[in-house]
Amino acid sequence: MSSIVGENIKVSVFGQSHSKAIGVVIDGLPAGLTIDMEELKAFMKRRAPGGKAYATARKEADVPEFLSGLVENTTCGAPLCAVIHNKDTRSSDYENLKNIPRPGHADYPAQIKFQGFQDVAGGGHFSGRLTAPLCVAGNICMQALRERGIQVAAHIYRIAHVQDRPANLTDLTQAELLKVREKEFPVLEDEKGEKMRQAIAQAKDELDSVGGIIECVITGVPAGVGSPMFAGVENRLAAAAFGVPAVKGIEFGNGFGCANLRGSQNNDSYEIQEGRVVTKTNHSGGVLGGISTGMPIVFRVAIKPTSSIAQEQDSIRMREMENAKLVVKGRHDPCIVPRAVPCVEAVAALTIYDMLCC
Known binding-site residue numbers for NADP(+): 47
90 SS3 class = coil
Mapped onto helix, strand or coil, the DSSP state of residue 240 is helix
Question: Would you list the DSSP string of 178-229?
Answer: HHGGGSSS--SSHHHHHHHHHHHHHHHHTT----EEEEEEEE-PPTT-B-ST
Q: Report the distance separating Cα 74 and Cα 68, nearest Å.
A: 11
Task: Look at phi and psi of residue 159 and say left if phi exceeds 0, alpha if psi is from -120 to 50, else beta.
Answer: beta
User: How many CB atoms neighbour CB 112 within 10 A?
Assistant: 10
What is 7-29 written as a DSSP string? SSSEEEEEE-TTSSEEEEEEE-P
Q: Which residues are annotated as a binding site?
A: 47, 125-127, 289, 304-308, 331
What Rg, from alpha-carbon coordinates, does the chain have?
Answer: 21
Binding residues for FMN: 125-127, 289, 304-308, 331
Q: What is the DSSP letter of 60?
A: -
- CA 54 – CA 215 distance, rounded (Å): 19
Q: Rounded CA gap, 163 and 151, in Å?
A: 24
Burial of 102 (0-12, 13-18, 19+ CB in 10 A): buried
User: For residue 211, which of 54, 17, 68, 347 has the smallest C-alpha distance?
Assistant: 54
Alpha carbons 137 and 13: distance in angstroms, whole number: 9
Neighbours of 53 (CB within 10 A): 9
Q: Which residues pair with 300 in a beta bridge?
A: 215, 251
